[in-house]
Structure 1
Amino acid sequence: MGFHETRFPTALSFGAAGGPERRTDIVTLANGHEERNSPWAHARRRYDAGMGLRSLDDLAEVLAFFEARRGQLHGFRWKDWADFKSCAPSANPDHRDCEIGIGDGVTRDWPLVKTYRSGAAVTARPVSKPVAGTVLVGIGGDAVEAGLVYTLDPADGVLRFEDAPASGAPITAGFEFDVPVRFDTDRIMASVEAFAAGEIPNIPVVEVRV
């Protein structure tokens, strides 16, 4: 799959609608009880890029972006304004935000994840497209320095330590991140007259696994 390490214009994604989608198979038994199962380990995000358009210039910018990605052919980065940090939207990322794993003294490569907590339930979401320059990393509660202790390729979201973190040491990180997506259509139907009257085109965008 082709992927372009470029971000959809953030000023246009700001007003977009969308969020996570899960797939749940539900079977109702004869006694009225249900059996529920999910074939997906992680949610998949969907958005409508058309919702952020406010002018014909915005529409022209999206059409140019669409053509450069050749419709559905190439993926790209998307900023989800409702969920783009390892912390609360009003806070700044901290190296203690999310637990990436526990060192074993052997493993040097650790993929970034964002953790979601609600009561006792915890879900870890893979983060493959961190924003360069925003990632902060800690080992055993202490911040460590990029380039000296670890490196990170923002194209894959994997922390690569020079020396494997010690056994039992928590590995944590804070960051901003993008969602890897593609257009979910090979056609954009846009009418200048309709747009001027307040009718915006539907431009579906869907998360991809990378």
Structure 2
Amino acid sequence: MSFHEVSLPARLAFGSTGGVERRTEVVTLASGHERRSTPWASGRRRYLIGAGLRSLDDMAALTAFFEARQGRLYGFRFRDFADFKSCAPGAEPGPGDQQIGTGDGVETRFRLAKTYGGQVRTIAKPVEGTVRVAVDGVEVAGGWDVDLTTGEVTFDVAPAEGAPITAGFQFDTPVRFDADRLEITLETFGSGRMVAMPLIEIRV
């Protein structure tokens, strides 16, 4: 897959804007009633970065990062500081934050996920050293592993039938640049201005 397991430096994201995008198809019937549907099972995040940068050094760093990804070609990790934990932004992740499955005595693999008002978002890029797991309400210190590139938790022994499996974690959002061009305006010898660069979440 065209993805680099590297994170955009946090300082280059300061002043970024973004949020969730949904796709809804609306058909207005002859009666005036509407029929609404969506081809998307989950939302997609979009961001704008770079508009707040003023230092030419920071702009050079973003340019180097952009070149290393070859524009839109390769995806990368992005820390969305408004939504990067299994819990509220001001809290610390705990092993009971999010239910990721229920044991059946056979299955050993479960994907990390975060639920938003009933809508489930698969988490594919957990942050190393932050994942905590519990089975039937009891935190499990060992006997499991997590793949940091897919978000899949694998147990050495299948959890018992009916046991809820929960997890807490920090995570990055997999994104790519949504433009193949960077534009920088030189304002002084030490500062400049950059046109906001769009990022878009990718499915991995």
Q: CA deviation at 1:204?
A: 0.8
Name the residue aligned to 2:71.
71
Match of 2:149 among 147, 155, 178: 155
Could you say which residue in structure 2 is the equivalent of 1:133? 129
Question: TM-score scaled to structure 2, two decimals?
Answer: 0.95
Higher helix share: 1
Residue 44 and residue 2 in structure 1: after superposition, are their counterparts in 2 closer, same or farther (change >3 A)?
A: same
Distance 1:104 1:49, change over 3 A: same
**1:50-65 matched pairs, under 5 angstroms:** 50-65=50-65
Q: Secondary structure at the match of 1:12?
A: helix
CA contact (8 A) 1:79 1:178 kept: yes
Unaligned residue ranges in structure 2 (runs of 5+): none
Matched, 1:143 2:142: no
- Equivalence for 2:110: 110
How far apart are the structure 1 equivalents of 2:182 and 2:189?
13
Task: Give CA deviations for 1:91-147 in whole Å, capped at 9, x if unaligned.
Answer: 000000000011111111101001112xxxx111000000000001000000001xx
List per-residue Cα deviations over 1:48-88 (Å, max 9, x = no partner).
Answer: 12234232211111001001111111110000011000000
Q: Sequence identity of aligned pairs in percent?
A: 54
CA deviation map 1:175-196 (0-9, x unaligned): 0000001111111122213998
Question: 1:19–1:196: structure 2 CA closer, same or farther, 3 Å change rule?
Answer: farther
**Do residues 192 (structure 1) and 186 (structure 2) align?**
yes
Which runs of 5 or more structure 1 residues have no equivalent in the other structure?
Answer: none
Change (3 A) 1:24 1:14: same
Alignment length, in residue pairs?
Answer: 204
| In 1: Cα distance, 2:32 partner to 2:190 partner | 52
Amino acid at match of 1:136: R
Matched, 1:202 2:196: yes
Return the match for 1:124 from 120, 124, 127: 120
Moved more, 94-103 or 49-58: 49-58
How far did 1:197 drift?
8.4
Preserved CA contact (<8 Å) 1:194 1:200: no
Q: Contact between 1:17 and 1:51, CA under 8 Å: does it hold in 2?
A: no
SS in 2 for 1:155: coil
Distance in structure 1 (CA, Å) of the matches to 2:45 and 2:178: 12
Q: What is the DSSP-based 3-state SS (H/G/I as helix, E as strand, rest coil) of the residue aligned with 2:26?
A: strand
Structure 1 residues 14, 81: closer, same or farther in 2, change over 3 A?
farther
TM-score, length-scaled by structure 1: 0.92
SS in 1 for 2:19: strand
Contact kept, 8 Å, 1:14 with 1:81, in 2: the verdict is: no
Q: Deviations over 1:5-38 (max 9, x none)?
A: 1100112213211111010000111111111101
1:168-179 equivalences in 2 (<5 Å): 168-179=162-173
Cα offset, 1:202, TM superposition:
2.0
